[in-house]
Amino acid sequence: MIRALKVLFKFILWFLLVTIVWVLAYRFVPPPVTATMILDGHGITKDWMSLSRMDPDMAVAAVAAEDGNFCLHDGFDYTAIREVWRERQSGVRRRGGSTISQQTAKNAFLWQGGGWFRKGLETYFTALIELTWPKRRIVEVYLNIAETGIGTYGVNAGAMRYFDHDASRLSESEAARIAAVLPDPKRRPGRNPSGWTARYGTMIERRMRQIRGSESTACL
């Protein structure tokens, strides 16, 4: 029993050491590749662009679409989590409760898919990046590693794919269209969207105008 406890203690110590160093490294260094990219099997097209070079509309669009309280929470939107829980208890599942911070933690350090084990790791990494990264770095990493199309990662590669120019010259509507693709990039067209995707992009564009310059985007 004592030997087992020693082994467990060493494992926990090494896990903490490795993950903290890993997270601190990504505060300054772009993630070279992610598990999602490797396991997807559709090739990898990506082109990192710093948040300072990226058109400001893109970060606002991501917050408007994915996480309206991004600048206000500590990585977890507890109101959204309660809403999701109530929906699932009633047998309805209309939304997800993940914040941009949680999605960044999952995309940068973990793999896609569910399960309590992965969700527990996601919670740990989310808390860690919120403690060690500024909010701008979190959204910068998110916008550079999120899947924006089949085999396409990051909004810069997405802009080149859909609009034939880089993410430094996005219009408001183009930024909203990329944000509309993010939840389901394999099935939602960024070029000439129609139906629900087009309507969702228009809704995001309206939301962008409402939150731009407010406390919801102050950290950007």
At 11-59, the pLDDT tens digits run: 999 999 999 999 999 999 999 999 999 999 899 999 999 999 999 999 9
3 state SS of 82: helix
Tokens standing for 96? 């997800």
| Distance separating alpha carbons of residues 220 and 216, to the nearest angstrom | 9
183 or 27: whose pLDDT is higher? 27
In this structure, are residues 36 and 113 in contact, taking their beta carbons and an 8 Å threshold?
Answer: no
The mean pLDDT value of the chain amounts to: 92
Residue 177: is its pLDDT beyond 70?
A: yes
Domains of the chain in start order, with CATH, are 32-217 (1.10.3810.10)
Both tokens of 219, joined, read: 């950290």
Reported as a single tens digit per residue, the pLDDT across 71-100 is 999 999 887 777 776 766 666 555 567 899
pLDDT given at position 95:
54
Name the strand (E) or helix (H) holding 153.
strand 152-153
HSE-CB for 55 with a 13 A CA cutoff: 20
Convert the pLDDT of each residue in 200-217 to its tens digit. Answer: 999 999 999 999 999 999
pLDDT of residue 27: 98
Contact partners, residue 51, CB within 8 Å, separation at least 6: 59, 136, 139, 140, 143, 220
The tokens 């601190």 sit on which residue? 24
**Phi, psi (degrees; rounded to nearest 5) at 62:** -65, -45
Average pLDDT on 119-138 reads 97
Structure tokens at 216: 């919801």
Give the CA-trace dihedral at 140, 144, 149, 151, to 10 degrees: -160
Angle at 31 between CA 27 and CA 37, to 5 degrees: 150
Query: pLDDT: is 108 or 93 the higher one?
Result: 108
pLDDT of residue 113: 82
